[in-house]
Amino acid sequence: MEKIPPRTVARLIIYRKILNSLIYEGVSHIFSRKLAEMAGCTPEQVRRDLMAIGYQGSTVSGYDVSELEYSIGYVMDDPEGVKIAIVGGGLLGRAILDYCYWRYPNFSTFLSFSNEKDISDKVYHGCKCYTMKQIEEVLEMETVDIVILAIESEHVQNLANRLVKSGVIGILNYTPIHLDLPSEVFVEDMDLMLAIDKAAFFVKHETHIKKKKKKKK
Amino acid sequence: MEKIPPRTVARLIIYRKILNSLIYEGVSHIFSRKLAEMAGCTPEQVRRDLMAIGYQGSTVSGYDVSELEYSIGYVMDDPEGVKIAIVGGGLLGRAILDYCYWRYPNFSTFLSFSNEKDISDKVYHGCKCYTMKQIEEVLEMETVDIVILAIESEHVQNLANRLVKSGVIGILNYTPIHLDLPSEVFVEDMDLMLAIDKAAFFVKHETHIKKKKKKKK
């Protein structure tokens, strides 16, 4: 298959999430117009994105929800599963581990690195737990696709450098530190502060618009 | 000031995060070239974005890191602060509350809604805690700018409808459910599954490229 552009990938993931919600609600078919409305894009974009993965709907009944969800998964998912390591055994690290455990029961392997003495050296939700010091040693033996950074530490950049040196090329960064890493490493900023700042700005702006509108009346 | 385009806002927030990391490291000045490299955009974009908020650096020493951080904050932040409500008192809800508490000490007011009996009806980190049933009653009395959804529940759409009906126009959605809400409501999808799927795809693709390169040798 041809290379899928990053923005198409991002939209496919959103379509899939919507489709999963629809399956849950018992909806069997959906038209591109409705899917586009729910995903915040245009029907043409939906049709183009789905053509890119070789999927076409029926003009009479629209897309088959389960079939389409399967098709997107077929393109997106690695049959070998995703191997995830979580760094951080605090509230957030444990919340993420809980979340992953219920969402990816047969899909992935998990490792956890932590300095919390009550977690290290145990198996939690089938996830092997190690101390931070063991990172290099463990990554030498196990292939990890994505590392989730959920720590409260000043040495995040240093830690990220160690991970990249050990071959990690995918990082989800929940820390407030901006990571300076080689461009071939995929880093997604999951920092709550970024999201709050963005939401706050738009909410403020929306309020501002409303106030203006009210004044105009 | 003129309306700032959403993509500029998103970049300004990232610049600010980088500047905060630099302040922490004791860096006093930065050139647009380096800032662009760290933010993953072009130097021209950095200069244009900062011109949009009326800030210009020196060609000799670059941007003053603290001054620029202040200028971005001046444009972005509401002097009245951001009022945040967190729905969900599980591990994730508490992790978010802990995070916010340390990050926004004098900046915001927090409310927490939860069905967990040990949290409801208490004050935790200066945050007033209520039960989910009280949402309408509390939002009638208190203005909330952003609601963070950190629940594990099947009724998230219904809950989001209740929030929007009570006047909420900013939602950070940590649930795996895709919310179908009016377009004037700002919704940011914080779902970990979306991020894992995206990271997994790019990591897989990157691996694929490397394998191809190796074969070519």
Residue A191 CA to residue B186 CA, distance in Å, equals 18
B207–A3 CB contact, under 8 Å: no
- Rounded to the nearest angstrom, the minimum Cα separation between A81 and chain B is 9
Distance from CA of A82 to the nearest CA of B (A): 7
Mean pLDDT, residues A1-26 taken together: 85
Look at B191 and A145 and tell me if their CB atoms are within 8 Å: no
- Token look-up 């990938």 returns A9
**pLDDT at residue B62 in the model:** 92
Indicate the residue of A17, A154, A186 with minimum beta-carbon distance to B206.
Answer: A186
Q: For residue B176, which residues of chain A lie inside 8 Å, CB to CB? A: 17, 20, 103
Q: Residue A68 is which amino acid?
A: L
Q: Are B22 and A182 in contact (CB under 8 A)?
A: no
pTM: 0.79
Interface confidence: ipTM more than 0.90: no
Quote the percentage of chain A above a pLDDT of 90: 34
For A111, phi then psi, to 5°, come to: -125, 155
Judging contacts by C-beta atoms under 8 Å, the chain A residues touching residue B24 are 154
Each residue's pLDDT, cut to its tens digit, for chain B (217 residues) gives: 567 887 888 899 899 989 988 998 899 999 999 999 888 889 999 999 999 998 888 888 899 999 999 999 888 887 777 888 999 888 888 888 887 776 654 456 678 888 766 666 677 777 888 988 899 999 999 889 899 999 877 789 999 999 999 999 999 999 888 888 998 899 998 988 888 888 888 887 766 555 544 444 3
Tokens of A135: 């990172």
- Residue in A1, A104, A174, A201 to test binding to B, most B beta-carbons within 10 Å: A201
What's the average model confidence in pLDDT over A128-156?
88
- Measured between beta carbons, the chain B residues lying within 8 angstroms of A92 are 92, 95, 99
Query: Which residue pairs from B29-37 have beta carbons closer than 8 angstroms and sit at least 24 positions apart in sequence?
Result: B29/B61, B29/B62, B29/B63, B29/B64, B29/B65, B30/B62, B30/B63, B30/B65, B31/B57, B31/B62, B31/B63, B32/B57, B32/B62, B32/B63, B34/B62, B35/B63
Chain B residues with CB-CB distance to A3 below 8 A:
205
